[in-house]
Every structure is written in C-alpha cells, then in structure tokens.
Amino acid sequence: MRSVDERAVADGGDGHRALPMLAADRGGFIDRHQLWTDAQYAAAGQLRRVVDELGIELIRFSFADQHGVLRGKTLTRAAAGAALRSGVTVPSSLLLKDPSGASVFPVFAADPQVGVPGFAGAGDLVLVPDPTTFRLLPWAQRTGWVLCDLRLPDGSPVPLCTRSLLRGQLDRLAAAGYAMTVGVELEFHVFAADARPDGGLDADQVGRPAAPGRPSVVRPVSRGAQLLHEDGLDRADDLVQLLHHGLTRLDLPLRSLELEFGPSQFEITLTAGDAADAADQVLLARSAIRQLCRRHGYHATFMSRPAGAETASTGWHLHQSLRAVDSGAAVFDPTTPGEALSPVAGHYLAGLLEHAGAAAAFATPTVNGYKRYLPFSLAPDRVVWGIDNKGAMVRAVGAGSDTGVRLENRCGEPAANPYLYIASQLISGLDGIERRLAPPPAVEDPYAADAPRLPTSLAEALTALAADPAFAAALGDPVVSWYLTLKRREFARYLAYVSDWEQREYFDLI
Ligand code: GLU
Ligand code: MG
C-alpha cells in the first residue's frame, strides 16, 4: 500500500506523480475493447481514491484537437465513475473544424469525405480517459483534470486522434530499436489584459465560424530588448510566482522561467523526458499558463508573432535525441573522438533536413508562424544545421556535456500541436536512419548558406507535405489529406481577407 503522502503535490502529497495502487472496476466499453493497460486500471483506482479523499467534485475530461487545443467536458463526481468505465462522448465534427470553429468537411453529407469511417452526421466519438494523466487543478476548486484519447463507438481507433497518432509513431520507432527523448523550450507572450471589470465581453468580441470576434485589448508588461535581465524578470515576479506555483503543482517538470528578448516575452523550459510525456506536458502547460494568466488579469498567448511583438517572435525549440530501447543508452553521442554526432544521429539529422519543408506544416501550423522565419532573428530561415549555432535550423549541442548530444530543431512555433510536431520530427529522423542519409557539412554562416529556404508561407509548407512520400507512408494518405484539407481552408480564408496592410498601402495612394 502506498501512503497518502506519496501522492503528487497537487493531491496534497509530497511531489511524486500519483502512481498505480489498485486494480479497479472492470466492465464497460473500456474493458470490452481492452483499451487500458494494467497500469491504467491501477491508476484509475488511485484516481477514485484521490477523488473520494480530497472531495473532488468536478473532473475535466479533455482531449487535444488537431490544433493542439484542449476540448472536452466537465463531469460531476457522480458521473465520473461511469466515465471511467465507458468513456465520454463528443461530436466527431470537432476534428473537422478550422481554428475559427468552421467545419471544413460536409459533416451532414452521407459521405463527409474524411477518408476514414465514423464522421457522418457529426455522430459521437468516445473520449477514453488515460488515468495515468490525472491531476488536480491548482487554480480551480475541487477540480480534477484527465487527458483522453479518442475511439469510435465500436471501440476501434480514430486515426485523426493526434495523441494516439504520436504513440503509434513512437511504436514504429521502438520497432526500429529506439526511444525518443525530448526537451522543450517554449516561448510565449504575456500581456496585461484590458478586460472589463465585470468579466464580460464587448459585443464585437463575439465570433462566428469563419469570422472570429475582435481580439482582446492588451498592454505590454515589459519593455523588451534586455534578454535575461534579472531586474526585468523581478518586475514580473507576480507572474513568475503565479506560473511557478501553478505548473509545479501540476507536477509538470518545470526547469526555468526566463525573460526573453521581446517586450512582454517569456520562456519556460521543461526537463527533458520521454517524447510521449513531453507532448502531454506541453499541452497541459499551455492551457495552464493561459488559464492562470486569465484569472490574474493577464493575457497569455502562444501565437508566434502577435501585434506588439514586432521585435521578437516566439519559437518552440525542440531538443531531441534517441536512446536504445533495450539498454536505454544514448545513441547520439559521437563514437569517434572529434566528431559532433554518432552515425545514427547523423542519419537522423539528415532526415530532419530532407523533410524540413513538409515537417514545417506540423512544426509551424499557422499562417502567423511563417512571419517568424526571418534572418538574424534567432529563428531559422533556411534548411541548415550548425554546431551550437543559434541561427541554424538544427543546432547540434551537448557533445562532451553531462546531458549528452541532442539535436535542437528551432523550426517550431509554440502553438504547434505537440503530438504532430514531435511525430513530424521522428518521421523525418527515422526515414533518415532507414535510408542511411548523410547530412551536409555544418554551416558557420547560417543566414548566408547556399541551402534551400524554409517555406515562406503555410501554403508552401502544405505543398511540401503533399509531395513528401515519407509522411504519407508513415501516417497514411487519409491522415495527410485530412490535415491538408483543414489547413488549406485556413489559408484560403486568410488570402480572402482584406487586411489592414492593404488598406494602409493603397487606400490613400491610388
Ligand atoms: N525567439 C527566437 C525564435 O523565434 C529564439 C530566441 C532564443 O534563441 O531563445 O526562435
Ligand atoms: Mg528563447
């Protein structure tokens, strides 16, 4: 028996993650379709005990949608038991929407043309909770949080469930003998919210599908241009304390909170860990930061280049390395003295470079994120790698260090769906390993190198994805074409929108 004190900090314990204890109720949809491991049954037993002992009244059953946004339902304590046996239903149309909430597929046609079954009539999908992810929300009264995977009502997998999709790709990597370690650097902006005292919205802030409402009005919280300035971060100490308290109480592996270069720009880093866990952690950390900030008069955004951030976009730098499944040994460390990388790391790196254009569709999935790929901005603009060079797309770092060698891809934006971003990396890298691709030489002048450019728009990245056979082979044609359809519609809406730029450029001149 584990004692209560051994539970997570958020559960009133000592800071360890809640661990399996009991094998609990079987029977129902989850048991019938054998959707949980023994560890998940045991975690569900522990979940029930925590709910009872701490008087939890509400549990949020949440899943990551295609955009990496959490959606789900909040269930009462009375309903949670049934949800742990049978799951929770949600409309399948949630997976067919662009970020504005507009359905991109004909959901009420007999064949909504998704390419996989289960989407006609906006019928139900089933959220299957993963009880090993259960946490208590430090900022909401008596409320628990559990991440879910999606299943069809007949128990079969939903290929468009991005959390499951990453796990499928990690299984493929494991079959090749490797597991993936990921370290996260996530930049973001926090502004002071100019919100109404009654908490309400103005009428023009209300959105419709394909026509989002007016964005929030905000003010800067820091002056910018003073990277890692200690006094600057001290001025934002209320925010630092707020985020530290919230993220550590969620048992997220927060490593640092930093003042970034741009005005109102911050960064968190998470301790490196298993790729599947890291993806969950990013999803939870982003939601936690937004919710904590909103409750304290701030507006946090993971949009790469929001208005007011002209001097510095935000990126999501993804440190990645492989370890051997059997021994756990790091396999990126050089085997020859003087080399920066092992042969396996070289192949993986070559895969990242070869597939950079297609992978950008997942690493930088918004219209806005492509405005970040500027020279001399610490963001990459072309497909090169360098040894500890922060202007290169991939930075090889760590040779001879205690943490070991890793490849830091600087392509991603912080809003990326973490499951798809990480999956895109391992699909690229694994293809490099399987084909024994060789990387070009490292560059020392990354913004002048004679190398292919990164896509300059979401449309270019989607064209690269459509043309890349490795992604179709790894994910299957239906998943790739679902994603292309969603994102092409988002880009078409952007192109059709008459922007402030056009008005300023032409209206008074011609
Ligand atoms: N904000 C930069 C980017 O867009 C990165 C700054 C840094 O090196 O931390 O990736
Ligand atoms: Mg940074």
CA 203 to ligand 2 center in whole angstroms = 37
Whether residue 485 lies inside any domain: the answer is no
Listed in sequence order, the DSSP H helices in 219-302 are: 230-235, 237-249, 275-295
Q: Determine the pLDDT at residue 19.
A: 40
pLDDT in tens, 456-472: 999 999 999 999 999 99
CA 391 to ligand 2 center in whole angstroms = 12
Confirm or reject: Cβ of 304 under 6 Å from ligand 1: no
107 in the same domain as 49: yes
Average pLDDT, the chain: 94
**Hey, which of 259, 310, 317 would you mutate to test ligand 1's pocket, going by the most ligand atoms within 8 Å of its Cβ?**
317
User: Hey, what amino acid is at 427?
Assistant: I
Please state the domain count of the chain: 2
CB environment 368-386: b (16+ within 10 A), e (fewer): bbbbbbeeebbbbbbbbbb
CA 262 to ligand 2 center in whole angstroms = 10
CA 242 to ligand 1 center in whole angstroms = 23
Residue 76 has pLDDT above 90, yes or no: yes
225 in the same domain as 90: no
Segment 157-171 shows an average pLDDT of 98
Distance CA 438, CA 458 (A): 28
The band of 189, judged by pLDDT with boundaries at 50, 70 and 90, is very high
Whether residue 308 lies inside any domain: the answer is yes
Segment 233-256 shows an average pLDDT of 98
Segment 475-493 shows an average pLDDT of 98
CATH, residue 254 = 3.30.590.10
Q: Determine the pLDDT at residue 20.
A: 39
Q: Which tokens is 240 given?
A: 């630092």
103 in the same domain as 185: no
Confirm or reject: Cβ of 412 under 6 Å from ligand 1: no
| Residues 479/159, Cβ–Cβ less than 8 Å | yes
Judged by its nearest atom, the ligand closest to the C-alpha of residue 311 is 1
297 in the same domain as 406: yes
Distance CA 312, CA 265 (A): 8
CB atoms within 10 A of CB 262: 23
The band of 124, judged by pLDDT with boundaries at 50, 70 and 90, is very high
Whether residue 4 lies inside any domain: the answer is no
Residue 3 has pLDDT above 50, yes or no: no
Confirm or reject: Cβ of 372 under 6 Å from ligand 1: yes
Distance CA 500, CA 475 (A): 38
Distance CA 358, CA 286 (A): 25
Q: Determine the pLDDT at residue 501.
A: 95
The band of 13, judged by pLDDT with boundaries at 50, 70 and 90, is low
221 in the same domain as 72: no
Backbone torsion region of residue 158, taken as left when φ is above 0, otherwise alpha when ψ lies between -120 and 50, otherwise beta: beta
CA 460 to chain CA mean position, Å: 22
The band of 34, judged by pLDDT with boundaries at 50, 70 and 90, is very high
Residue 303 has pLDDT above 90, yes or no: yes
Burial of 74 (0-12, 13-18, 19+ CB in 10 A): middle
* DSSP codes joined into one string, 90-158: EEGGGGGB-TTS-B-S-TTSSS---SSSS-GGG-EEEEEE-GGG-EE-TTSTTEEEEEEEEE-TTS-B-
Q: Determine the pLDDT at residue 16.
A: 40
Q: Determine the pLDDT at residue 8.
A: 57
pLDDT in tens, 406-431: 999 999 999 999 999 999 999 999 99
Of all residues in the chain, what percent carry a pLDDT higher than 70?
95
Judged by its nearest atom, the ligand closest to the C-alpha of residue 305 is 1
Confirm or reject: Cβ of 249 under 6 Å from ligand 1: no
153 in the same domain as 175: no
CATH, residue 63 = 3.10.20.70
308 in the same domain as 277: yes
CA 65 to ligand 2 center in whole angstroms = 26
Whether residue 423 lies inside any domain: the answer is yes
208 in the same domain as 154: no
Listed in sequence order, the DSSP H helices in 148-274 are: 162-175, 230-235, 237-249
Q: Of the candidates 158, 181, 196, which is a domain's last residue?
A: 158
Q: Which tokens is 241 given?
A: 């304390």
SS (H, E, C) 285-314: HHHHHHHHHHHCCEEEECCCCCCCCCCCCC
293 in the same domain as 146: no
CB environment 108-129: b (16+ within 10 A), e (fewer): eeeebebbbebbeeeeebbbbb
The band of 195, judged by pLDDT with boundaries at 50, 70 and 90, is confident
Residue 502 has pLDDT above 70, yes or no: yes
CA 202 to chain CA mean position, Å: 30
| Residues 174/260, Cβ–Cβ less than 8 Å | no
Confirm or reject: Cβ of 378 under 6 Å from ligand 1: yes
Residue 69 has pLDDT above 50, yes or no: yes
Segment 74-91 shows an average pLDDT of 96
Q: Determine the pLDDT at residue 203.
A: 95
Segment 51-57 shows an average pLDDT of 97
175 in the same domain as 63: no
Of all residues in the chain, what percent carry a pLDDT higher than 90?
90
Q: In angstroms, what CA-CA distances link 155 with 35, 85, 150, 334?
A: 8, 13, 9, 45
Segment 146-156 shows an average pLDDT of 98
| Residues 282/186, Cβ–Cβ less than 8 Å | yes
Residue 14 has pLDDT above 70, yes or no: no
60 in the same domain as 134: yes
pTM, full prediction: 0.95
The band of 26, judged by pLDDT with boundaries at 50, 70 and 90, is low
**Sign (positive/negative) of CA torsion 408, 413, 414, 417?**
negative
Residue 22 has pLDDT above 50, yes or no: no
pLDDT in tens, 257-282: 999 999 999 999 999 999 999 999 99
Q: Determine the pLDDT at residue 18.
A: 43
Whether residue 498 lies inside any domain: the answer is no
* Opening angle at CA 267, ends 261 and 270, nearest 5: 150
Closest ligand 1 atom, CA of 304? 4
Radius of gyration for the alpha carbons in the chain, expressed in angstroms and rounded: 23
Judged by its nearest atom, the ligand closest to the C-alpha of residue 313 is 1
The band of 196, judged by pLDDT with boundaries at 50, 70 and 90, is confident
The band of 401, judged by pLDDT with boundaries at 50, 70 and 90, is confident
Distance CA 84, CA 25 (A): 9
Confirm or reject: Cβ of 395 under 6 Å from ligand 1: no
Whether residue 126 lies inside any domain: the answer is yes
**Hey, which of 314, 381, 393, 395 would you mutate to test ligand 1's pocket, going by the most ligand atoms within 8 Å of its Cβ?**
314
* Opening angle at CA 261, ends 255 and 263, nearest 5: 110
CA 457 to ligand 1 center in whole angstroms = 19
The band of 302, judged by pLDDT with boundaries at 50, 70 and 90, is very high
Domain boundaries, position 190: 170-475
Whether residue 481 lies inside any domain: the answer is no
Distance CA 134, CA 24 (A): 15
Distance CA 460, CA 183 (A): 28
Grouping H, G, I as helix, E, B as strand and the rest as coil, residue 170 is: helix
Q: Determine the pLDDT at residue 12.
A: 67
Whether residue 438 lies inside any domain: the answer is yes
| Residues 454/353, Cβ–Cβ less than 8 Å | no
327 in the same domain as 187: yes
